[in-house]
Amino acid sequence: MKTEDVIKYLKEYDGRPLKLMEVCGTHTASIFKNGIRSLISPKIKLISGPGCPVCVTPTAYIDRVLDYAAKPDHMVYTFGDMMKVPGKCGSLSDMKGKGINVGMMYSPFEVIEKAAANPEKTYVIAAVGFETTAPIYALAVQEAAKRGIKNLKLVTALKTVIPALSWICENQDDIDGFICPGHVSVIIGSGVYEALAEKYNKPFVVAGFEPEHLLAVIYDIVRQIECGKSDVKNLYKNAVRDEGNAKAIKAINEYFETGEATWRGLGSIPDSGLYLKPQYAEYDGGSRGLDRDMELPKGCSCGSVIVGKLNPNECPMFGKSCTPLHPYGPCMVSAEGACGIWYRSI
Amino acid sequence: MGKIIMAHGAGGKTGAELMSNIFGKHFKNDVLDKMEDAAVLKINGRIAFSTDSFVVTPVEFKGGDIGKLCICGTVNDILMMGAVPKYITCGFILEEGLDIELLDRLVSSMAKTAEAAGVKIVAGDTKVVEGSGGLYINTSGIGVIPEGRNVSAANCKSGDVIILSGTLGDHHACILSARMEIENNIKSDCAVLADITNGLFSAGINVKTMRDVTRGGLGTILNEIAEQSACRIELTETDIPVNDEVRGFADILGLDPLYMGNEGKMIAVVPEKDAERALEIMRATEVGRNAAVIGRVAEGSGTVMITRLGGTRIVDVLYGEGLPRIC
């Protein structure tokens, strides 16, 4: 089917109102960047899910990392997006501004090189991400262990997507179908959504990031709903296999074990976190038990935004006390956070 | 040639050596050669006056260096007001340990760029601070605005046409590639834009607004223009030129070429009747060979873009630093 025909169909859709959740923050960004909402019927509502790892990181985690940054002879490194997420007493970016030892990394391997060159200092990596990012941390620990590096610690906030999707299906039954993440599915495969589709009777379709991909997936989900189907489909076949990436999964399973994790806005979800296994404990900078979250001020609707109950602009703080320059929550900080994307795009 | 030491900034014999061996060797003109405390200049009419500081690392990159950049940046700011750049001053802050051979190359690059742009470097200063071999340069410049030119961000009117002089994001992608040690062919677009502005004015084009598309990118400057002119700007995504390699690089890092910095790109806003000729003039220059009409001015406010598939997207200003995303 040609894209023009898909657009025509979706624009003219006049069936029952539908709510589709795009789980991944990169999809949210692409939907805005390509003006997808303006191409489809207002009866098809696209809502953003908890698919930005920065947005679901609780304050206790940021505080733990900030504690390390304040210690003498410690250097904290993280990827760009994490720099501005506020903890109880400011963000890593604020700490950097005060001359405290915080740096932005492009890969954990550059931190390993620094650790090897400066054995008198301890290097702490704030390791945040989903299954997409977890394998690189597994390989980093492997490399550090191989080289006998002792002055490296990971504070992990690594999460897995399937338990969060189960949580959403259990707690919010008004979502009609899921646009499954592209990058995460490259690792975990499309087969893992089968159990969810069967149990909750909803379509789960894996999407790529080009506007044509997203439109094809929206079309497929709408058609499935119209035909009473709830199938799992992979429409990102040039990158995603049914069984995922076996090497990456093996690396994750070799170095990490699952455990309960706190998702900002959702609360605690069993088996949704990845933690270094006991045999690699020397590289763990204290990643467990980081379940305390900042008390949300009156009116803050972060929790509802993350699960798509509210659109970001329906939060009373949106654009007023919470803006990209003065974010209250990580959803407004991250380039992939629903609030930040909405603020920049509407 | 050795390294910079604190004594190079102390005003004594060591500093004088640096002055004659490096700066004096490359910067020569009738004003500077008088070696007075201040440059004495004779200027008639309205002037455009601008200043900028340059702190880029690495100091040498594909397509340029900090020396070339610090001249292009200030000269382009003056050009964007419809002025003819005349004089430049430069202030150097050198860190102890800076390689003098490197400094020599950078100063030579400044001199060559200034000569090509037709500006004289008429005053300067050097300080040395503790550090690890880096350098920072401030340049200020003056240009004369010929009679009859009125270029301002507040001049746009509904129906005017927006022309972009070339591809977006090259400088930003080049610097980031160097910092991330990523091998590719992306070169900085660092260049003086005088060929374009001279061409437009000498052809009698009614240039209403010009802006060089530097930090903050096209998205940010178009919003500034929309606000200052109290108008709406409508872009067409498929008309905006971006080099394929830069687009791929930006996609991987989660950056948007609309918000990436450039050092040799500008937009010109002209009335519709002048648009075709203005585009031809830009395309006839080396720096404007990829120029394109990218949008129009309309009634309303803000900046919007028609996307590749016909959707509508709002283009806001850049918030924060444009950090690479983590997933």
Find the closest chain B residue to A334 by CA distance: B325
CB A112 within 8 Å of CB A77: no
> A246-255 and A134-146 helices cross at what angle (nearest 10)?
60
CB A290 within 8 Å of CB A58: yes
Interchain proximity A38–B327, CB inside 8 Å: no
CB B254 within 8 Å of CB A26: yes
Instruction: Say yes or no: B314 contacts chain A, CB-CB below 8 A.
Output: yes
Q: Helix (H, G, I), strand (E, B), or coil: what is residue A77?
A: strand
Which of A3, A82, A345 minimises the CB distance to B326? A82
Residues 254-273 of B with CB under 8 A from A: 254, 256
Indicate if the pLDDT at residue A11 is higher than 80. yes
- Pair type for strands A152-159 and A122-129: parallel
Tell me the chain B residues in contact with residue A106 when contact means C-beta distances shorter than 8 Å. 180, 324
Q: Which of A90-94, A330-334, B257-261, B296-300 has the lowest mean pLDDT?
A: A330-334
* 3-state DSSP percent of chain A in helix, strand and coil, to 5: 45, 20, 35
Q: How does the average pLDDT of chain A come out, rounded? A: 90
Residues 6+ apart with CB under 8 A from A169: A175, A196, A199, A200, A202
pLDDT at B270: 98
Q: Where in chain B is the domain with CATH 3.30.1330.10?
A: 6-144
Q: Each residue of A280-295: pLDDT tens digit?
A: 999 999 999 887 665 6
Instruction: Please give the ipTM for the structure prediction.
Output: 0.75
Q: Each residue of B46-79: pLDDT tens digit?
A: 999 999 999 999 999 999 999 999 999 999 999 9
The mean pLDDT of A284-310, rounded to a whole number, is: 77
A172 CB neighbour count, 10 Å cutoff: 15
DSSP β-bridge partners for residue A140: none
Find the length of chain B.
327
**E-assigned strand segments in chain A:** 18-24, 44-51, 74-78, 102-104, 122-129, 152-159, 177-180, 204-206, 232-234, 256-263, 267-276
Q: How far is CA A7 from CA A36, A204, A206, in A?
A: 9, 20, 19
Indicate if the pLDDT at residue A68 is higher than 60. yes
pLDDT at A295: 62
DSSP H helices in A34-73: 59-70
Interchain proximity A80–B316, CB inside 8 Å: no
* Residue A297 banded pLDDT, cuts 50, 70, 90: low
* Residue B279 banded pLDDT, cuts 50, 70, 90: very high
Exposure string over A173-193, b if 16+ CB within 10 A, otherwise e: eebbbbbbbbbbbbbbbbebb
CB B7 within 8 Å of CB B14: yes
Indicate if the pLDDT at residue A36 is higher than 70. yes
Proportion of chain B above pLDDT 70, given as a percent? 97
Interface mutation vs chain B, best among A4, A33, A136, most B CBs within 10 Å: A33
Tell which residue, B64, B212, B217, B41, has the closest CA to residue B141.
Answer: B41
Element (H, E) at A92: helix A92-97
Indicate if the pLDDT at residue A172 is higher than 90. no
Interchain proximity A52–B327, CB inside 8 Å: yes
Find the closest chain B residue to A105 by CA distance: B180
Q: Each residue of B206-224: pLDDT tens digit?
A: 999 999 999 899 999 999 9
Interchain proximity A130–B326, CB inside 8 Å: no
CB B271 within 8 Å of CB B161: yes
CB A51 within 8 Å of CB A338: no
The mean pLDDT of B114-123, rounded to a whole number, is: 96
Tell me the chain B residues in contact with residue A80 when contact means C-beta distances shorter than 8 Å. 321, 323-326
* Bond from prior residue into A203 cis (ω within 30 degrees of 0): no
pLDDT at A267: 84
* Residue B253 banded pLDDT, cuts 50, 70, 90: confident
A296 CB neighbour count, 10 Å cutoff: 15
Interchain proximity A340–B256, CB inside 8 Å: no
Between CA B302 and CA B230 the distance in angstroms is 9
Instruction: Say yes or no: B307 contacts chain A, CB-CB below 8 A.
Output: yes
* Residue B20 banded pLDDT, cuts 50, 70, 90: confident
Tell me the chain B residues in contact with residue A325 when contact means C-beta distances shorter than 8 Å. 319-320
- Here the tokens at position A331 are 């959803």
- Here the tokens at position A241 are 């296999």
Find the closest chain A residue to B315 by CA distance: A345
The mean pLDDT of A212-226, rounded to a whole number, is: 97
Phi-psi region of B241 (alpha: psi -120 to 50; beta: other; left: phi over 0): beta
Between CA B136 and CA B130 the distance in angstroms is 13
Between CA A281 and CA A141 the distance in angstroms is 11
pLDDT at B114: 97
Residues 6+ apart with CB under 8 A from B32: B39, B120, B121, B122, B123, B124
Between CA B296 and CA B300 the distance in angstroms is 12
Between CA A244 and CA A241 the distance in angstroms is 5
* Residue A335 banded pLDDT, cuts 50, 70, 90: low
pLDDT at A94: 84
Indicate if the pLDDT at residue B204 is higher than 60. yes
Between CA B175 and CA B173 the distance in angstroms is 6
* Residue A21 banded pLDDT, cuts 50, 70, 90: very high
Q: In CATH, what class is A1-288?
A: alpha beta
* Residue B321 banded pLDDT, cuts 50, 70, 90: low
- At the topology level, CATH places domain B6-144 in 60s Ribosomal Protein L30; Chain: A; (3.30.1330)
CB B255 within 8 Å of CB B168: no
- Three state DSSP letters for chain B: CCECCHHHHCCCHHHHHHHHHHHHHHCCCCCHHHCCCCCCCCCCCCEEEEEEEECCCCCEECCEEHHHHHHHHHHHHHHCCCCEEEEEEEEEEEECCCEHHHHHHHHHHHHHHHHHHCCEEEEEEEEEECCCCCEEEEEEEEEECCCCCCCCCCCCCCCCEEEECCCCCHHHHHHHHHHHCCCCCCCCCCCCCHHHHHHHHHCCCCCCEEEECCCCHHHHHHHHHHHHCCCEEEEEHHHCCCCHHHHHHHHHHCCCHHHCCCCCCEEEEECHHHHHHHHHHHHCCCCCCCCEEEEEEECCCCEEEECCCCCEEECCCCCCCCCCCCC
Proportion of chain B above pLDDT 90, given as a percent? 83
B182 to chain A, closest Cα gap in Å: 11
Q: Where in chain A is the domain with CATH 3.40.50.11740?
A: 1-288
Indicate if the pLDDT at residue B326 is higher than 70. no
pLDDT at B1: 79
* Amino acid sitting at position B201: F
More confident residue, A79 or B112: B112
Q: Each residue of A123-158: pLDDT tens digit?
A: 999 999 999 999 999 999 999 999 999 999 999 999
Tell me the chain A residues in contact with residue B306 when contact means C-beta distances shorter than 8 Å. 35
* Residue A119 banded pLDDT, cuts 50, 70, 90: very high
Tell which residue, B65, B51, B154, has the closest CA to residue B110.
Answer: B65
CB B164 within 8 Å of CB B276: no
pLDDT at A343: 84
More confident residue, B15 or A200: A200
Residues 169-188 of B with CB under 8 A from A: 180
The mean pLDDT of B274-300, rounded to a whole number, is: 98
Q: Helix (H, G, I), strand (E, B), or coil: what is residue A35?
A: coil
Tell which residue, B258, B261, B251, has the closest CA to residue B305.
Answer: B258
Q: Considering the entire predicted model, what is its pTM? A: 0.85
Tell which residue, A190, A149, A167, A178, has the closest CA to residue A272.
Answer: A167
pLDDT at A292: 67
Find the closest chain A residue to B180 by CA distance: A106
Phi-psi region of B276 (alpha: psi -120 to 50; beta: other; left: phi over 0): alpha
CB B106 within 8 Å of CB B171: no
- At the topology level, CATH places domain B161-314 in Phosphoribosyl-aminoimidazole Synthetase; Chain A, domain 2 (3.90.650)
Indicate if the pLDDT at residue A3 is higher than 70. yes
